[in-house]
Chains A and B, each alone.
Chain A
Amino acid sequence: MKPEDLVFSTLMLPLLGAAIALCGKLIHSHKRIAKSFEYSGAIIGLALPWVALILLGQQVLRGEIITGVVGNWYSGVGISYQFDGLSWLIQVLGFTIGLVAWIYSLGGGPKGPAFTTIFLIQTAALAATIITTDLFNLFVCLEVMGITSYVLIPTSKKPGASLAAFSYLMVSASAMVFFLLGTYGLYRITGSLSYEGISLGLKIISPQNQMIAIVSCTLLVSAVAIRVAVMPLYGWLPDAHALAPHAVSAVLSGVLIKTPLFALSRVLMLFAQGPEVGQLMSIAGGVTALAAVIIALSQKDVKRLLAYHSISQIGYIVSAWGMALQFGLETETGLFLMIGAYLHALFHALFKGLLFLSVGTTIDATGQRNVYVLRGAIGLLRKAGERVPITFFTFLVGALAITALPPLNGFVSKNLITYGLNNSYLYYLLISASVGTVASFIKLGRIFVPGTNTKPSRIKRIRFRSRWVAQLTLAILCIIGGFWTPTVIEIVAKLLAPHQHMVLTAPELYTTDSLLKTLWITFGGIILYLLIQTAPLKKALTMIRTRPRNFKGLFVSFSLGTAALALWLLV
């Protein structure tokens, strides 16, 4: 099989699976036949691509990059694509979380052929976004990803979910129109839509067209930045991720906010202003990490707390990614930071998915979402049918991972990032955010502590088997990521920069320094948690939680953010 065909099979197989699962919807009479259509669609779409990924993995590890034009048409008009190490890594991320979340949805989430179809289409769109090197194709792939999210969020049947989906739709669809205008600007001055054509064209443009290039770049970056939810563009995310069904929250937080970021890195390499954009994004990322964790501390709904944490962790990833672009991937520091950014994206997807699924099981079993009210969840889960406290175990693994305690994977990735940043002011921002993370997870962990609920809880007996499979898989992957660190780092390094000639040795992560730092951060987190029990801080946090948020704010922040980026690049 030709390598080009293998590349496209990772996205055509989920689409074929979606078409088959959709046929299951037509058959109303025999439930069994309909279900077999749906399940075979899911197997074709989520399990078979792994064969292709393993075969492709061998090729990219050797350093080969597969490029070409879709359908072998003329490259000036056709759609070009590129499959390299970065594409492989992101597709592995997407398919892992997709498979696990779908297994969870068999027991706990929305069921039915329509859900499976849309879920498979979303997975295919993720695979397509990261291999494309054509601006308009990136627009179409981002729109497909977006529309599947707008449709999947209201399937949880909560009233707030429709409003969340509506706000997300409005903001994202308008952002994509700005993306289209950026494409217009670049096509006008370079005559091409593919990245190669644009970069060739940008080298020969006249100085007065430089401004058009910069403004187009601004529009492209800010349209993608809405999807990635850095400050100040984060407003849609807490509602959307908190009110979606649990399996969908896991995929949204785990994969859909990261793929556009890495697709953007391909675009930014075309522009001479790429490093400056990286610099601004890294500052925004650092501020996001700290601000979001403070807001997370104030939340009382468990899933909303996790959603704000997603924003904070994406701040980590964006700041590492931004600085990597600023230094450039040819330098050692730049490559190092990009490895840290990717690993944190992968590990965050694993432990955040794990947390959403575990907390989701707890919510379904106990019927309570308020973190101040819910207590003794282990006992309540036992009454709902879980004899061995598996959900508590998986929650513990996720919480230890996100607070970066060794030997779990969060420790590895967070320390890689802070090691790479080395005493710049970003370093201090991220360390403070880590302290906040520890404090808020102590707060969240209290739901499992034995105690009496202030409100009577409605225990539901729920089906646990598929939830256990999904949760345990993610927990095992988190633990493996922590133990096999040097291998993982070397593989990722070879994939991200296949032509580097320097030997990148994995830094020693278990030094006394880093362990002491972890100890201090944990200690600081415990103190912070005790402090927020006091009255004045409690009042401050309540004020933060009830701050006015409205629809218009999303757009005002988008406009101001875009204008700020444009100003930053022009002066």
Chain B
Amino acid sequence: MTTPKTFKQFWGLFTTLLAIFSIGAVLLPIFLNAHPWPTAARDYLAMRGNTDSGATNLVSAIYLGYRVFDTFGETIVLLVSVLGTMGILTRVESLVDASSDDEHTIGTVSGFSLSQEKRRSHTLRTHLLEVVTGKIGPIVLLFGFYVMLYGHVSPGGGFQGGVILASGIIFLALGNPQEGSSGISNPEILVRIETVAFLILVLVFFSGFFMGNGFFGNPLESTQVPVGYIVLLNAIIGLKVGTSIGFMCIAMMGGGY
């Protein structure tokens, strides 16, 4: 950084440093605090977490049992952000199509395109990429399903599995040699799965109400397998997250919607 010459530059630098130092001073005690971390929650959960919810993975027990309301809010944030992102990107795409010859046409949106016309011409889309991703895709999908459905006994769960599912979907979309992408990387099908998954999620939360346990309560609590609730929620959230993020990434790569 050269020494600021004009007053404007000096003022800009000064205000930035002022902001950073004042925030740093406020945050210093928070970050450097050395009070011993509280153990009350950990002790209770170590004792009763498994029996309350049926899951051996205590983190799953928390975010799909005790604090499932927060997880619901998080799923809603994902839904809204995907709707918003797609709305804005379709507007950009229509602007790009309308003025495809001037210098404002950005390579980004349709650059890495999955649509047939632009696919062959992009330098990064080599044959190696297409073969490898096409073959790995189904394996990654399988792994994603595993992580999603075993979230209650091993590290994993709906969100983690869902993101791996999304990578699998993207691999399949990248590696697909012909147009009219088949099956799971078809944007239409992804949108349908996502919408239906959200509806089922809301209905599952309503079901707690009908089973007498209140909203967000475990409807399977009095049956043999209370952990079935957690597995079900993991599966729905995983599908929802996977299809949302997969759809968003395919759209950002220019794959037609």
Contact = CB atoms under 8 A, between A and B. Distances in A.
Residue of B38, B66, B213 with highest tally of chain A CB at under 10 A: B66
A74 B45 CA distance: 10
Interface in B55-72: 62, 65-70
B18 A556 contact: yes
A114 B29 CA distance: 44
Nearest to A214: B29
Nearest to B210: A5
B87 A74 contact: no
A25 interface: yes
B30 A555 contact: no
A209 interface: yes
Nearest to B24: A559
Contacts of A77: 41, 44-45, 62, 66-67
Interface residues of A, number: 69
B92 to A, nearest CB: 10
A568 interface: no
A168 to B, nearest CB: 13
B48 interface: yes
B153 interface: no
B67 A78 contact: yes
Contacts of A151: 80-81, 83-84, 87
Most chain B CB atoms below 10 A, which of A8, A136, A216: A8
Nearest to A206: B35
A433 to B, nearest CB: 29
Interface string A174-189: 0000000110110111
Contacts of A74: 44, 48, 52, 66
Nearest to B67: A79
Interface in B68-108: 68-70, 73-74, 76-77, 79-81, 83-84, 87-88, 91
Interface string B206-248: 1011000111111000000000000000000000000000000
A125 B65 CA distance: 21
B52 A5 contact: no
A519 interface: no
Nearest to A110: B87
A22 B30 contact: no
Contacts of B66: 71, 73-74, 77-79
B150 interface: no
- Most B CB atoms within 10 A — which of A77, A216, A218, A558? A77
A144 B196 CA distance: 21
Interface centre among B18, B52, B76 (most CB of A within 10 A): B76
Interface stretch (B115-123, B166-174, B176-184, B197-205): B197-205
B167 to A, nearest CB: 24
B70 A144 contact: no
B205 A12 contact: yes
B62 A188 contact: no
A147 B44 contact: no
A4 interface: yes
A144 B73 contact: yes
Interface in B1-49: 12, 15-16, 18-20, 22-23, 25-27, 29-30, 33, 35, 37-41, 44-45, 48
Contacts of B84: 118, 147, 150-151, 154
A79 B215 contact: no
Contacts of A2: 214
Interface stretch (A13-21, A352-360, A466-474): A13-21
Interface in A115-139: 117-118, 121, 125, 128, 136-137
Nearest to B88: A154
The majority secondary structure among interface residues of chain A is helix
B97 to A, nearest CB: 16
B169 to A, nearest CB: 19
Nearest to A562: B26
Given A4-B214, A23-B195, A118 B80 contact: yes
Contacts of A560: 18-19, 22
B41 A76 contact: yes
B192 interface: yes
Nearest to A73: B66
Nearest to B33: A212
Of B15, B26, B209, the most chain A CB neighbours within 10 A belong to B26
B29 A215 contact: yes
Nearest to A187: B38
Contacts of B87: 114, 151, 154-155
Contacts of B76: 15, 121, 125, 144
A5 B212 CA distance: 10
Contacts of B202: 12, 15-16, 19
A71 B29 contact: no
Contact of A5 (B16, B38, B195, B214): B214
B40 A26 contact: no
B173 to A, nearest CB: 21
A151 B87 CA distance: 9
B52 A188 contact: no
A54 interface: no
A188 B35 contact: yes
B80 A552 contact: no
Contacts of A25: 191, 195
A191 B40 contact: yes
B38 A209 contact: no
A58 interface: no
A71 B217 contact: yes
A60 B73 CA distance: 27
A500 to B, nearest CB: 31
Given A188-B37, A560-B22, A144 B30 contact: no
Contacts of B88: 154, 162
Nearest to B196: A23
Contact of A76 (B44, B65, B91): B44
Interface of A: 2, 4-5, 8-9, 12, 15-16, 19-20, 22-23, 25-26, 70-74, 76-79, 114, 117-118, 121, 125, 128, 136-137, 140-141, 143-144, 147-148, 150-151, 154-155, 157, 162, 181-182, 184-185, 187-192, 209, 211-212, 215-216, 218-219, 552, 555-556, 558-560, 562-563, 566
Given A71-B216, A150-B84, 18 more contacts: A16-B203, A19-B198, A22-B199, A26-B192, A70-B68, A71-B208, A74-B44, A118-B83, A125-B76, A128-B73, A140-B77, A143-B73, A151-B83, A188-B33, A552-B12, A555-B19, A556-B18, A563-B23
17 contacts: A16-B202, A19-B198, A25-B191, A71-B218, A73-B52, A74-B48, A76-B40, A77-B45, A136-B70, A137-B69, A140-B77, A143-B77, A144-B73, A147-B84, A181-B27, A185-B30, A191-B39
